[in-house]
Amino acid sequence: MSPITGSAIYKKKAGMITVYEEESPPRILWKCIDAGVAPPVEIMLDSVVTLQASRKESPKMLLVIGIGKSPDNKTDVTFAFNSRVTMDNVKTVLQQTIARRKSAAAADASLAASANSDGSGASGTSSPAPMDTHTEEFLSGMLDENNLLKNLTLQQKLLRDNPTLMKTFAEAVIKSGLSPEEFWSTRVHLLRSYAIQTNQKRGPYNVLSTIKPVASSENQVNVSVTREKIHEIFQQYPIVRKAYDDNVPKMSEGEFWSRFFSSKLFRKLRGEKVNLYDRGDITLDKYLFYDPDYDGEEEDADIDKLLEEKKEEDGLRKRRNSEQLTSAKKKVKLFTEQGKEVPKFIDIRANEEDDSGKLGNGPDITMKENQNDELVSVMRSMNRLSRRMMQNIKDNTNTEQEFEQELDLKDLENANTVEYNQLEYTQRSNLSSNILPADLLEKFNSQSPLNPTPAIYDEYIKKLKSELNEVDLTTVYVDNKKPLLDTYKEVLNVIKKNAKSQAWTLNLEATVEKQDVDVDLPRDKLESLRLTHSTSVEFLRHFWLHYNSIGTSSPSTNPNFRAELLQLKKLYTSITKCLERVQANVSQMDEADSKLGKLLMEPLIKSLTSALQSYEAAIVG
């Protein structure tokens, strides 16, 4: 399907309007015919709220598209058309796309609501823990084959995101009556990967590096922070949390953040270079001189607040302490994975590089004299950041057990003996490769030994024996120019062909266009052949699935046996129709095209007929 396109006038300039409905998000693009006279107009269909077109009787052909957040608060864009047909086309496509989007949004909302309601609200905004066990359970339940097949919302979403699949779906299910369950049953893997893809959670990341101040038109610096980001900042930089706790009742929240983003503290935490004379923020920059390793554990000066939050704080601290312990253990584990044989934990030589008696502070670049201060502080802040990010990851692995295993001395255990199953191997096929033709032998064996007629072998071997009596090497090229030249050309052609196909495989991104160039058919014809082909293959796939399932089961072993029999019969008629469609498709073409079309569709016709024949052969009675 090519995008809908047509000529339209915008602000009295003639141009072409194109609707890209398959893109995500879908959009309209209007381009002036004289490039440069007027800039192109692009409208994301996500933002369309109203759509008006002049009536059929009206001589004017205007299409008014309202863009904005709500019908009351919108700007109108007006296109004038020269042809009623074009305008109607554009209008219909816009209507469909917008309606589709609205229903999708509603479905998404209902899905989100159901996801939230059946849990204890663990995925609320207050604690977006990176590894949410609740969502994991939710996901594993969702990935179950039956649930995937029942999840209509997911299927619709996938279809919207995958235009090719949508086409096949439309052809096979909507037009040709294949049931949607059938269609999806062979595509569970697609649904599953899509479900995983759309439900993936983001791990911890350095949040400050993602915040980028943007200069606005009024010469102001704008920074946008979401609630999740603020939460992440507090987790990764306890110093910011402290600053916030200290200051926020005194100043407004907005003020705090605007001060923070212009402060030296912000730049320092981001790892940027802070010059002495940079403009900063007096209130917040004092936190620069706080202990950079501050983890929010020191006694807070503000006693009132401390009392207020004491209970909460205690809980937090306990958790944090235990987390630190796990992260310390985790470090040990990370090391052992690198040191292959002996776990670091029990390796006596493991600390060699940290032995200050041997190397001093040599291996640690932050512990050297004359080391560049900048470098040291960057290294330290990176280490701090990594440590905090690791702390925030909770994993469910049983660390106790892992450490027990690490303490095992593996080389003291009995070696595992691998047991093999002995196979007696005979090459029967090697014996059957007789280089004497079977028919010759048969004839020979049926012949009486007294029969004087000699076998072909006897006659020829005499000649062959004298074959090499006279060998003249000059015969291979003397008086032999034409075949040599022809051969030369032939070899060259093969090389050219191979070079071409190699170039294709090397430029993978261009494959789709190349395929079209290679086949000498009009684009629409080719497209229609492709569609017929993919639909037929779809039906064939289901046909053989059921056919083989019936072949290897019986009514006693398969509860769906009867249903499958009926289904197969239906598929038989569908395949008959497919065959008709293919033939109709080919016969509609011009003579020259039709020949090529036949050539292209021949394998398909063969497989369709073979399916039909298999069915007919299997008919009972």
Partner 1 sequence: MDAIADRAFADTQANPHKLVDETPSSLAVVLDINPLEWRKLEESGSINLRQVVSSVIVMLNSHLSLNSSNQVALYVANSYSHGAQLIYPHPDSTVSSRFLHTPGMYRQFRFIDGSIVDQISHILSEQPETLEQLVGRDPKNQHVKGTLAGAISMALCHINKLQQSDELNALNSRIMVVSISDDSTLPYISVMNAIFAAQKMKISVDVCKLGPSSTFLQQAADATNGVYIYITQPSGLIQYLTTALFIDPMLRPIIVLPTDEAIDFRASCFITNKVIDVGYVCSVCLCILSIIPDDEKCPTCHSKFDHNLITKLKRKPKALPLKKKTKE
As to burial, measured by CB atoms within 10 angstroms (0-12 exposed, 13-18 middle, 19+ buried), residue 161 is middle
Q: Which of 458, 513, 518, 524 binds partner 1 (CB under 8 A)?
A: 458
x/- contact string, 365-404, with partner 1 (CB under 8 A)? ----------------------------------------
Q: Which is nearer to partner 1, 156 or 614 (CB)?
A: 614
Q: Which is nearer to partner 1, 337 or 458 (CB)?
A: 458
Q: Which is nearer to partner 1, 205 or 444 (CB)?
A: 444
CA distance between the termini of the chain:
46
For 245, 285, 289, 378, 382, the CA distances from 268, given in Å and listed in that order, are 20, 10, 11, 9, 11
Shortest Cβ 144–partner 1 spacing (Å)? 27
Cβ pair 94, 44 in contact under 8 A = no
Segment contacting partner 1 by CB under 8 A, of 236-244, 249-257, 332-340, 443-451: 443-451
Q: Which of 449, 452, 513, 524 binds partner 1 (CB under 8 A)?
A: 449
Among residue numbers 410 through 439, which ones bind partner 1 (CB under 8 A)?
423-437
How crowded is the C-beta side of 216, counted as CA atoms within 13 Å?
6
Shortest Cβ 410–partner 1 spacing (Å)? 33
Shortest Cβ 508–partner 1 spacing (Å)? 12
Among residue numbers 284 through 343, which ones bind partner 1 (CB under 8 A)?
none
Shortest Cβ 446–partner 1 spacing (Å)? 10
Sign (positive/negative) of CA torsion 189, 194, 200, 205? positive
Sign (positive/negative) of CA torsion 236, 238, 241, 243? negative
Among residue numbers 523 through 552, which ones bind partner 1 (CB under 8 A)?
547-548, 550-552
Among residue numbers 463 through 522, which ones bind partner 1 (CB under 8 A)?
464-465, 467-477, 480, 483-484, 486-488, 490-492, 494-499, 501-503, 506
Q: Which is nearer to partner 1, 84 or 497 (CB)?
A: 497
Q: Which is nearer to partner 1, 382 or 464 (CB)?
A: 464
For 212, 214, 224, the CA distances from 218, given in Å and listed in that order, are 17, 11, 16
DSSP per position, 267-335: HHHHT----TTS---HHHHGGGGS-TT--S-SPPS-HHHHHHHHHHHHHHHHHHHHHHHHHHHHHHHHH
Q: Which is nearer to partner 1, 276 or 506 (CB)?
A: 506
Segment contacting partner 1 by CB under 8 A, of 152-160, 212-220, 345-353, 461-469: 461-469
Local structure of 9: helix, strand or coil: strand
x/- contact string, 551-570, with partner 1 (CB under 8 A)? xxxx----------xx-xx-
- The C-alpha torsion from 298 through 303 and 309 to 311, rounded to 10°, is 80
- Before 25, cis peptide (omega within 30)? yes
Distance CA 43, CA 11 (A): 15
Cβ pair 578, 609 in contact under 8 A = no
Residue 460 near partner 1 by CB under 8 A = yes
- How many residues touch partner 1 under the rule CB under 8 A: the total is 79
Shortest Cβ 473–partner 1 spacing (Å)? 5
Q: Which is nearer to partner 1, 220 or 573 (CB)?
A: 573
Among residue numbers 132 through 191, which ones bind partner 1 (CB under 8 A)?
none
Q: Which is nearer to partner 1, 17 or 550 (CB)?
A: 550
Sign (positive/negative) of CA torsion 180, 185, 189, 193? positive
Shortest Cβ 561–partner 1 spacing (Å)? 10
Residue 462 near partner 1 by CB under 8 A = yes
User: Phi then psi for 477, rounded to 5 degrees?
Assistant: -135, -20
Shortest Cβ 576–partner 1 spacing (Å)? 10
